[in-house]
Amino acid sequence: MANDRLRSLEEVEKEIGVVLQCAGNIILELSKEKHNASLLDRQLSQFTGCVSRVESELSGQIRYLTQVATGQPHEGSTYSARKDCQMALNRVEYARLKLGELGQTCERLLDPLTQ
């Protein structure tokens, strides 16, 4: 079970790499005088798909950790675990917002190309 979760996180890490690569490709293409609209559309589609998968998987991991941290008998305080979980949720939310802003920027830049 733990190995499966670690493998899932490794896949998330790869997906984040793909997200960054797509964002870089989009920015590179937009920096050219003449844009390739079909390439931009493919990259944007891949970008948004990867962001959705990353968000979904990380949310699932956080839900699992929340259940495990609060549902298991233990000794001592749970303050540290709750704090870590809340910080992880904050980081996920921040990453989601920033990726959403990047996606919106890309869509705004692509909008004149489709008209």
Query: pLDDT tens digit string along 50-103?
Result: 999 999 999 998 888 887 776 555 455 677 778 889 999 999 999 999 999 998
pLDDT at 70: 67
- Establish how many alpha carbons lie within 13 A of residue 89's alpha carbon, considering only the half-sphere containing its beta carbon: 11
What is this structure's pTM? 0.56
> Coil, helix or strand for 52?
helix
- Alpha-carbon span 83 to 10, nearest angstrom: 24
- Alpha-carbon span 64 to 60, nearest angstrom: 6
- Alpha-carbon span 15 to 11, nearest angstrom: 6
- Alpha-carbon span 110 to 40, nearest angstrom: 7
> Coil, helix or strand for 32?
coil
pLDDT at 11: 92
The pLDDT tens digits for 7-28 are: 999 999 999 999 999 999 999 9
